[in-house]
Amino acid sequence: MLNENRIYKIYKVFEIIFQKRRYKFFFDLFLTAVESE
């Protein structure tokens, strides 16, 4: 549970960064990497 919470926080940070810079492609790659684990 603790590990999932940490991943979620990291995800939110990346989400904000990628939305700001509009790196949609890299954001999709990040999501794919997270879901493949």
Our CA dihedral for 13, 14, 18, 20, rounded to 10 degrees, sits at 10
Contacts 24+ apart (CB under 8 A), 12-21: none
Q: Find the domain containing 14 and state its range.
A: 2-35
Q: What is the structure's pLDDT at 36? A: 78
Tell me the per-residue pLDDT of 1-37, one tens digit each, with 9 for 90 and over: 567 888 889 889 888 877 777 667 777 888 888 887 6
Candidates 1, 16, 10; CA nearest to 33 is 10
Q: What is the structure's pLDDT at 30? A: 82
Q: What is the structure's pLDDT at 1? A: 59
Q: What is the structure's pLDDT at 27? A: 76
Q: What is the structure's pLDDT at 37? A: 64
Q: What is the structure's pLDDT at 33? A: 86
Instruction: State the total domains in the chain.
Output: 1
